[in-house]
Amino acid sequence: MFEIVLSGTLPKCKFRPFYSKVEKQLALDAIEKMGISHLKNTCYKTLSGGQQQRVLLARALCATTKIIILDEPIACLDPKATKEFYLLIKKLNKDGITVIMVSHDIMGALMYASHVLFIKKEKSIFCTSKEYMTTQKEILLK
């Protein structure tokens, strides 16, 4: 699994055929940040869905320090793994990383999101999650 996370540093390698100590440390730091250090030498295929998502998020952290875009990251995760993943995303956001996430889990995501862009054929809205929960939800879901 370490190699998958480390591959997130490839853009930093340019044309070098090997990873530097700095890139390896960046991968180790991302693995630790995601709470999966104990899985460092585990085969990715044998990990649970939630663990795999953490690996992929650690890989993304190796590639960027400003923004991460996620497409349905909680698909196929059980409720416990979903909550843990949302908490990780919220922590990343508090650490200064912008997280843009596409999700059909509106109500679940609202608890952890700072802003919502709700897109529906007839109308769309961008607001804080609090504004969405208090005023717009009933209007848009009709």
pLDDT at 27: 95
pLDDT at 41: 94
Q: What is the mean pLDDT of residues 65-85?
A: 89
Domains of the chain: 2-104 (3.40.50.300)
Tell me the residue length of the chain: 142
Percentage of residues in the chain having pLDDT higher than 90: 44
Q: Between the CA of residue 128 and those of 38, 64, 78, 96, 115, what are the distances in Å?
A: 37, 25, 27, 17, 4
Q: Is the pLDDT confidence value at 138 over 70? A: no
Q: What is the mean pLDDT of residues 19-27?
A: 92
Q: What is the 3-state secondary structure (H, E, C) of 119-132?
A: ECCCCEEEEEHHHH
pLDDT at 141: 54
Overall pTM > 0.85: no
3-state secondary structure of 100: strand
pLDDT at 18: 84
pLDDT in tens, 34-63: 999 999 999 999 999 889 999 999 999 999
Tell me the range of 58-62, 91-95, 107-111 where mean pLDDT is highest. 58-62
pLDDT at 142: 56
pLDDT at 103: 87
pLDDT at 67: 93
Residue 47 CB neighbour total at 10 angstroms: 17
Spatial separation of the C-alpha atoms in residues 62 and 37, rounded to whole Å: 15
Q: What is the mean pLDDT of the chain?
A: 87
Residue 36: exposure state from Cβ atoms within 10 A (0-12, 13-18, ≥19): buried
